[in-house]
Amino acid sequence: MLVAAAAQVGFGGKICWFLAHAVGVGLLILLYEELQHQIFSYTWYALLYLVLIVVTVIQYYRVAGSSPGYVEDLENDPEFEAGIKAVAGSTPFSHCSTCRVVQPPRTKHCHDCNKCVLRFDHHCVWLDTCIGQYNHRRFWWYVFLETFLCIWSTVLYFLAFHLQKSSAWPQNLLLLVTFVGLLCCSIFLTTLLVFHSYLVLTNQTTYEKTRRTRIPYLRNLPKDAHPFSKGGCGNVTEFCCASQPYRFYNLPPDHEAAGPCLAARNATESITKSTKCCSWWR
């Protein structure tokens, strides 16, 4: 019953997402005469806006159709089983009573998907899927594109309202209401993008950040301690450039993770790896 209800909510979220974009972009093209002229004149500005819409839609469905990394899908994977045996002596594992599988560190059971997710971040209702180890990078790019699209659309609605030659109040009111709605969405998406960028820089997840006091391997650590961090540059490199996401995370000893020199250790690692990373970016 609960799984079926969650599935309906997720499907409804996809429909709302589609309608919001179809109506928002449709009204903009319909009511903004200058944009119509630019589209039919094949100006680079309008074409670039349309390309951004298409790319954002494609990225949305890429994330929605991706797997976050379910533990049960890897049970018969020799590499996965070998990894568990390799770190079992130094890293504690837990067991999921629902899925009846071994949970590597940073794994959590998602009650919406009814599966255990590797490096669980959160369950997204709008995408109807979990965000985890295998699709967090795709999700970040989707949020980036969606934020850019929303801000651009907000600017266009403002121009349409400001430059509207027609004095018909229903049309102006519709433009104003849509502009205010898009402005609120832009603020929310910008905040979300900044938050997930911060998570990437510190090698954290939404679940670890918001439920820190409930997680056994984090609740006894200082609030500024990030036991999985490899330094800002190392974290970004792992997140953006790793061809195959890491499946296991070793938990550091308590005295090392909670020690006062944790920040210095992470800073040292960052400096050590910065030369290689930054040269790659150049």
Residue 75 is encoded by which pair of tokens? 């049970």
- The whole-number pLDDT of residue 172 equals 81
Structural domain contains residue 264:
no
Among 100-104, 140-144, 253-257, name the most confident range. Answer: 140-144
Structural domain contains residue 112:
no
pLDDT: which is higher, 165 or 119: 119
Structural domain contains residue 46:
yes
Q: What is the pLDDT of residues 38-54, one digit of tens each?
A: 887 878 888 999 999 99
- The whole-number pLDDT of residue 266 equals 44
Average the pLDDT over each of 99-103, 112-116, 182-186 and give the range with the smallest value: 99-103
- Please report which confidence band the pLDDT of residue 81 belongs to, taking 50, 70 and 90 as the band edges: confident
Percentage of the chain with pLDDT > 70?
A: 79
Q: What is the pLDDT of residues 147-206, one digit of tens each?
A: 999 999 999 999 888 776 556 777 888 888 899 999 999 999 999 999 999 999 999 999
What does pLDDT average to over the chain?
80
- The whole-number pLDDT of residue 30 equals 84
Domain that holds residue 141: 2-67+129-194
Catalytic residues: 124
Structural domain contains residue 96:
no
Structurally, how many domains does the chain consist of? 1
Structural domain contains residue 77:
no
Q: What is the pLDDT of residues 208-241, one digit of tens each?
A: 999 998 888 888 888 888 888 889 999 999 898 8
Among 89-103, 162-176, 241-255, name the most confident range. Answer: 89-103
pLDDT: which is higher, 85 or 50: 50
Structural domain contains residue 172:
yes
Among 8-17, 188-197, 266-275, name the most confident range. Answer: 188-197
